[in-house]
Amino acid sequence: MPDIAAIVAEIAGEMRNAEDRGTVASYIPPLASVPIDKFGIAVVLADGAVHVAGDADEAFSIQSISKVFALTLALGAVGDQLWSRVGREPSGSAFNSIVQLETEHGIPRNPFINAGAIVVCDVLLGRLQPREAIGQMLRFVRELAGDDEAIRLDETVARAEQDTGFRNIALANYMRAFGNIHGDVRMVLGTYFHFCALAMSCRQLAMAGRYLMDGGRVDGHRIVTASRARRIAALMMSCGHYDNSGDFAFRIGLPGKSGVGGGILAVAPGIASIAVWSPGLNEAGNSHLGQRALERLVQRTGWSVFEPREG
């Protein structure tokens, strides 16, 4: 095993001084004021060792990373029936794009673009009230992160999205017209915005990703089956970075999911669960330095899933 503590510290040092940091998302007002100079990284290894550097203990808005946890909950609720309402193909379009929905009859390409995650929320609301679904999500990420009561929902972010998320409102109404949203559009969106408003640190997020590193288990408890964990990771690889997913696989070669808060959760199956955070984004809405940091990490560790393994 390479010296992860040293590598993580080195990456944080390099990213602290980086000049080109991307652009902070401004379409969600509270995110616009997050300082661009933040950078955090946390690596949780299969043996439980945790290595962190930079702003790894500062909570940030996980935004679309919550789509991984929402998908996990929806698969738990309805199993493979979910796939009649959302696809499993990369969209090749922006995370908030509406164009494919017209020709594809309101069925979003995958659960990691906004339209897909909105359908996932609607599926959860088939059995729960919004308040219950939001409570279930909060309990779930706390459990995954190791009972971390400190994880909370940022109501200011949720409210801001409710007030300004016109694209998401359009997506939900459009899918409602196709019959692929069954519940009350406002309640579905309220749930979706609250999921996006989860605030977590890199350390908490990397802890929460352990089930995807370890075949569906956390500390010996089964969260999902091994085959489900593999499938969720496959979707992260093919769709986790929107129209930038191919480039992420090319450069980093790990299942990963980004959010416009500048976080990325990535997993090296059997080896590590990794979270990085830097609020400046590239044009596709993915953390610019977060991706660079992960690229450095896989270069130094050989953790890409495409790296030949012994045995």
Q: Which residues bind ligand GLN (CB under 6 A)?
A: 63-64, 95-96, 114, 161, 165, 168, 196, 259-260, 285
Please answer whether residues 295 and 66 qualify as being in contact, where contact means their C-beta atoms are separated by less than 8 angstroms: no
Q: Minimum distance from CB of 285 to ligand GLN (Å)?
A: 5
Burial of 220 (0-12, 13-18, 19+ CB in 10 A): exposed
Q: Minimum distance from CB of 228 to ligand GLN (Å)?
A: 23
Q: Looking at beta carbons only, is 286 or 301 nearer to ligand GLN?
A: 286
Cβ neighbours of 219 (radius 10 Å): 10
Please answer whether residues 189 and 51 qualify as being in contact, where contact means their C-beta atoms are separated by less than 8 angstroms: no
Q: Which of 68, 95, 297 lies closest to 205 in space, CA to CA?
A: 68
- Give the bridge partners for 51, in sequence order: 43
Query: What CA–CA distance (Å, rounded) separates 293 from 288?
Result: 9
Query: What CA–CA distance (Å, rounded) separates 71 from 85?
Result: 12
Q: Minimum distance from CB of 95 to ligand GLN (Å)?
A: 4
Q: Which of 247, 285, 283, 250 lies closest to 264 in space, CA to CA?
A: 285
DSSP 8-state assignment for residue 305: T
Q: Looking at beta carbons only, is 249 or 305 nearer to ligand GLN?
A: 249
Q: Looking at beta carbons only, is 107 or 260 nearer to ligand GLN?
A: 260
Burial of 9 (0-12, 13-18, 19+ CB in 10 A): middle
Please answer whether residues 85 and 119 qualify as being in contact, where contact means their C-beta atoms are separated by less than 8 angstroms: yes
Query: What CA–CA distance (Å, rounded) separates 189 from 161?
Result: 9
Q: Minimum distance from CB of 195 to ligand GLN (Å)?
A: 9
Q: Looking at beta carbons only, is 96 or 191 nearer to ligand GLN?
A: 96
Q: Minimum distance from CB of 168 to ligand GLN (Å)?
A: 5
Cβ neighbours of 81 (radius 10 Å): 11
Q: Minimum distance from CB of 112 to ligand GLN (Å)?
A: 9
Q: Looking at beta carbons only, is 63 or 301 nearer to ligand GLN?
A: 63
Residue with the CB atom nearest ligand GLN in the bound state: 64
Q: Looking at beta carbons only, is 130 or 165 nearer to ligand GLN?
A: 165
Please answer whether residues 141 and 263 qualify as being in contact, where contact means their C-beta atoms are separated by less than 8 angstroms: no
Q: Looking at beta carbons only, is 56 or 160 nearer to ligand GLN?
A: 160
Q: Which tokens in the block code for residue 122? A: 């609607």
Q: Looking at beta carbons only, is 216 or 255 nearer to ligand GLN?
A: 255
Q: Minimum distance from CB of 68 to ligand GLN (Å)?
A: 12
Q: Minimum distance from CB of 309 to ligand GLN (Å)?
A: 32
